[in-house]
Structure 1
């Protein structure tokens, strides 16, 4: 029986290579679950595989947004599920690959996402710009203390979303989604990880390669496409640090060092998210044969 397979885990663990190998072995196709790889032109900084590196395996949901557009998990959910169900109906194995935990869970579990109200959102964003995130976070703490404990006081965009959802639904904001929820598919979830010290070193090497490969020039090109106006894309790791450097005198060495630090922090958050889900079967990349082990878990 054809099943959905999800390959998840922190950045720089080797998910992309494993996903391609599994898709090739299982007569499948890859579905991107990295929020930043949705963006056209954000190639170097997201470690997006070039077409020649995809081993002939079809990939879906890459390069579907302009950098001026805000990524939406609800829109992603609709698009990804459509691909999953089309592949399953055709007898092909969908292989969902990425480290954006909420995006993965939005596909594999029955999650509903509240809509948005443009006028309400605009008012909250104007207040955020005028008063700053701390004031809005204090309001969130008044109306939903549990959400305020999870949402960082500096994360203005998420604070605005929390207040918007509370106002629209009259219910608490689900800031920390439960894992192991009601499954939508009979999916196999595979986690890829490495020891912390090894992964820290891989992150440093990856960032060095990105800067050497032209991340700064790519960022300058994206500025011409509206990167600075993109609420989601402009905050992507690497691009945000290069933008800060270009705005502040051009210390690119410092930008690279800060990208390493920020990516390592992000890795810890990803690990924490995925380790909460007891359904994930963990593979340790770099030891043994993770492809063979993954195929055993899938049952092929």
Structure 2
């Protein structure tokens, strides 16, 4: 089968499961190029805290949609959808296999599935954000009343999605649930997922956070603050970056900042897993052992077995 008709590959899963290594191994075996679907890796300078692979560790494999935003800019899934689909088409014209990797579930789906994204209104968004910030649980209860299907899929702790759901409903007059994806791909796609036993994943997350601090995460945040990090609506709220800003402001000590980052990352990993587990198309690979070669072999078997 020619590369122009071979399915696109996505690699999903929670943070710290080994997605980047798997993507590199598959790209080497299949002649692929990698498209980033981690929304925090869009930001220039957010390297340590997002586990962004340094260029010299990318094995010469081309990566797309990394370092495309300034920390003051807001990530936009509609813009990303266009950019990702353009990157997929470009990769195919050069006879390569597109491999999408990242843990931002909506961005993965936006690139490969039939999804439309209603516009936004800055004034409406700002008003709803202030309402949710003042009473997140109350706004979630309101969402339950006007769109129970959407509320069932959005937790009360997910402020950003509560805001977006209420904004879409107000702007379109339609339920936000009508905009939710229904797992219809626009082209043949193989969906792979990496899973790790929860206890092991929690240990990996704690170790990763500690290592990131040791490798200069605090200095990275200092540099980004000089470039306007605190003004960024998306980047400034990223897990770890927000806690380090509190640490630098004297609001948290080092231990508390690390602990809060670890806890938030574990909570985020659970939300990622919940999101991806809803997708019946994903072929799951157990990456608990941390054996990258074995993960790649399992993934290649899954690719070979999946019908395009």
Superposed counterparts of 1:250-289, under 5 Å: 250-285=252-287, 286=289, 289=294
Count matched residues.
298
Q: Distance in 2 between matches of 1:22 and 1:47?
A: 19
Which residue in the other structure is 2:45 paired with?
Answer: 41
Q: Distance in 1 between matches of 2:159 and 2:271?
A: 18
Which residue in the other structure is 1:100 paired with?
Answer: 104
Structure 2 residue 296 is matched with structure 1 residue 294: no
Q: Distance in 1 between matches of 2:303 and 2:132?
A: 46
* Correspondent of 1:147 among 147, 150, 171: 150
Give the Å deviation of 1:137: 3.7
Which residue in the other structure is 1:244 paired with?
Answer: 246
Decide whether aligned partners of structure 1 residues 205 and 175 sit closer, same or farther in structure 2, where only a CA change above 3 A counts. farther
Which residue in the other structure is 1:62 paired with?
Answer: 66
Q: Distance in 2 between matches of 1:90 and 1:217?
A: 39
Give the Å deviation of 1:90: 2.3
Superposed counterparts of 1:159-178, under 5 Å: 159-174=162-177, 177-178=180-181
Gaps of 5+ in 2: none
Which residue in the other structure is 2:92 paired with?
Answer: 88
What are the superposed Cα offsets for residues 141-185 of structure 1, whole Å, 9 maximum, x if unpaired? 443233334434454433332222112211111399355x21112
Give the Å deviation of 1:73: 1.0
Give the TM-score of the pair, scaled to structure 1.
Answer: 0.92
- SS at structure 2 position matched to 1:5: strand
What is the root-mean-square deviation in Å for CA atoms of aligned residues? 2.1
Decide whether aligned partners of structure 1 residues 100 and 128 sit closer, same or farther in structure 2, where only a CA change above 3 A counts. closer
Give the Å deviation of 1:118: 2.8
- Return 268-277 or 76-85, whichever deviates more: 268-277
Give the Å deviation of 1:250: 4.4
Is 2:114–2:181's contact at 8 Å kept on the other side of the alignment?
no
Q: Distance in 1 between matches of 2:206 and 2:159?
A: 28
Is 1:241–1:255's contact at 8 Å kept on the other side of the alignment?
yes
Gaps of 5+ in 1: none
Which residue in the other structure is 2:227 paired with?
Answer: 225
Give the TM-score of the pair, scaled to structure 2.
Answer: 0.89
Structure 2 residue 174 is matched with structure 1 residue 185: no
Is 1:203–1:264's contact at 8 Å kept on the other side of the alignment?
yes
Is 2:149–2:177's contact at 8 Å kept on the other side of the alignment?
no
Decide whether aligned partners of structure 1 residues 267 and 97 sit closer, same or farther in structure 2, where only a CA change above 3 A counts. same
Decide whether aligned partners of structure 1 residues 152 and 279 sit closer, same or farther in structure 2, where only a CA change above 3 A counts. closer
Is 1:22–1:291's contact at 8 Å kept on the other side of the alignment?
yes
* 4+ runs deviating over 6 angstroms: none
Q: Distance in 2 between matches of 1:235 and 1:49?
A: 21
Structure 2 residue 201 is matched with structure 1 residue 194: no
Is 1:151–1:175's contact at 8 Å kept on the other side of the alignment?
no
